[in-house]
Structure 1
Amino acid sequence: MHDSFDFNDRTVLVTGGARGIGLELSRQLAAKGAHVIAVGRDAASLDALAKQLHGSVTIQQVDPGTSASAEALSQWVAETRPQCSALINNAAIMHHTDLTVDSQARLDAMSAEIAVNLTAPLQLSVDAAGAVGSSLLGRRQRHLRLAIAPKREAAVYCASKAALRSFTRSLRDQCRAAKLPIQLTEAVMTLVDTTLSRAGPLRKYPPALAAADLIAGIERGLDEIWIEKTKLLRIVHRISPELAYCIMRDR
């Protein structure tokens, strides 16, 4: 655990910052006195956020699924917002794909998920860590979704998040070994009421509460934030990984 983290007067980059959990993160961070750089693909959502938060947000339309987009975003931040001192990797997509069916659509969906969920966060994170020497990002946050037990219908999504979880731990160890003043926090997210997952009978956690829990954990300087039902999943997984897998498989 690090020292407490204060968002007041900080500039925070939030990917996927105009929809779902990201929208609530942008709203709540602005309420805490932060200036938010909200990145997203949907221009209408970004424009609506800009009108809502007025001078507390800068919007930037970026498609993380395209080549070189993360690199271009890092360069833009370095050149135009050098005061940026926090990154929350929130953007993600999930395709409910049957991998046993051979089709070009399946391959395209796999490539898109890996680009958005893994490649872009990795590049942004490495660029942010490397920029410490030039004072771009003094301390940094990571936002990681559920990667403990995979869902049957979201194989690529779960694989990308498991890889991101492993990467986060390794990068955290490297930063600490180098004695860099960087905080890396991963959030293990519960099932939240957004368009990312399919509608169903299970109760979904409100995005506003998920965002509040995430921000509170970062402010406390936690390495890991287990949100809502994932606290129980963590215990179950420790006792029986197979039971945790069975619980999550068809969720």
Structure 2
Amino acid sequence: MKLSGHKILITGGSSGIGFELARSLIARNNQVAICGRDRQKLANARELLGDVITIQSDLAIASQIPELAQKAAQQLGGLSMLVNNAGIQRNFRFSQSEPTQIGAAIAEEIQVNLTALITLTAACLPILKQAESAAVLNISSGLAIAPKASAPVYCASKAAVHSFSQTLRYQLEDDMPTIKVFEAIPPLVDTQMTQGRGKGKISPRQVAAETLQGIERDRYEIPIGKVKLLQLIHRFVPAIAAKILRNS
């Protein structure tokens, strides 16, 4: 897929992977809008990126999602690519948590990581359909392949994103063939979300570079970094893949 001349909305675009995707896509002559819940972070990103549209929107609030799709299309003058990048991760153990204390956190994690992704995609599809060439890019995780014990909801939500990406691709191949569905599957990335967690992180810039390279090659599932090896191990010896990630 050609990656220039697009009108693109990136969720969670004020930092991390989303910011680096925005930076690279702007450099490739695309019009980019980023959204986030933090007004100051958006302002900082705009100062660094320059020619970018910023939209304050909280994906944890379901009622804001249809409005986000419309705002992006209005301010960009259309939409030809949606990047579902926003995500949150909370580590906890059910045996050490009170249901009344974690219920809201569980609901928010599922809303941001999965429900918002699906509903925003649904809201954007009629707009994307109007473009000559369009795409949806979902950012999942290597933890969708083999989960870790400490982040049960995050891992489950990313596994669901992986499944949704496949089924959406099947549907659009039949019903809206001008819209391609890509999924980037990164390993542990050095972002604000992963501070203090794990070793051997890769940079958001590397994730962005490998993701865009995969899209240009029409590779619909794009394993990033160590995930290439993880996929291979999981295919032939899934028990070893599970052991590697279980306590990561």
Letter of the 2:111 counterpart? A
Matched, 1:196 2:187: no
1:151 aligns with 2:148: yes
d(CA) in 1 for partners of 2:189, 2:59: 22
1:126 has 2:90 as partner: no
- The answer (yes or no) to whether the contact 1:83–1:137 under 8 Å persists in 2 is no
**What displacement does 1:179 show?**
4.9
Q: TM-score, normalised by structure 2?
A: 0.93
Alignment partner for residue 217 of structure 1, among 210, 214, 219?
214
Instruction: Report the Cα distance in structure 1 between the residues aligned to 2:77 and 2:116, rounded to whole angstroms.
Output: 20
Deviations 1:66-118 (A, max 9, x none): 12121221122344434221011000000012222224331111011001000
Aligned length in residues:
245
Name which of 58, 63, 66 aligns with 2:58.
63
Cα pair 1:141 1:184 within 8 Å, conserved:
yes
For the structure 1 residues 99 and 180, does the alpha-carbon distance in structure 2 shift closer, same or farther, using more than 3 Å as the test?
same
Match of 1:15 among 11, 15, 21: 11
Helix, strand or coil for the counterpart of 1:33? coil
What's the RMSD between the two structures over aligned residues?
1.6
Matched, 1:98 2:102: no
Shift of 1:136: 5.7
Say if 2:2 is the partner of 1:6.
yes
Contact 2:79 2:128 in 1 (8 A): no
Alpha-carbon spacing, 1:126–1:138, altered in 2? closer, same or farther (3 Å) = farther
- Matching of residue 174 in structure 1 with residue 171 in structure 2: yes
Deviation at 1:197, TM superposition (A): 2.1
- In structure 1, what is the Cα distance between the partners aligned to 2:172 and 2:242? 32
- In structure 1, stretches of 5+ residues that fail to align are none
3-state SS in 2 of match to 1:142: strand
1:25 is matched with which residue? 21
Q: Given that residues 86 and 137 in structure 1 are in contact (C-alpha distance below 8 angstroms), is that contact kept between their aligned partners in structure 2?
A: no
> Matched residue of 2:134: which SS?
coil
* Alpha-carbon distance, 1:188 to partner: 0.9
1:21, CA displacement in angstroms?
1.0
Aligned to 1:112: 108
Distance apart, 1:200 and its partner CA: 4.4
**Alpha-carbon distance in structure 2 between the residues aligned to 1:44 and 1:108:** 25
Q: Does 1:86 align with 2:81?
A: yes
- Structure 1 residues 6 and 142, CA gap change in structure 2 (3 angstroms): same
Judge conservation of contact 1:188–1:227 (CA < 8 Å) in 2. yes
Gaps of 5+ in 2: none
User: 1:136 and 1:127 mapped to 2: Cα distance?
Assistant: 15
Residue number in structure 2 paired with 1:50: 46
Residues 82 and 136, structure 1, Cα contact 8 Å, conserved in 2 = no
Q: d(CA) in 2 for partners of 1:179 and 1:160?
A: 26
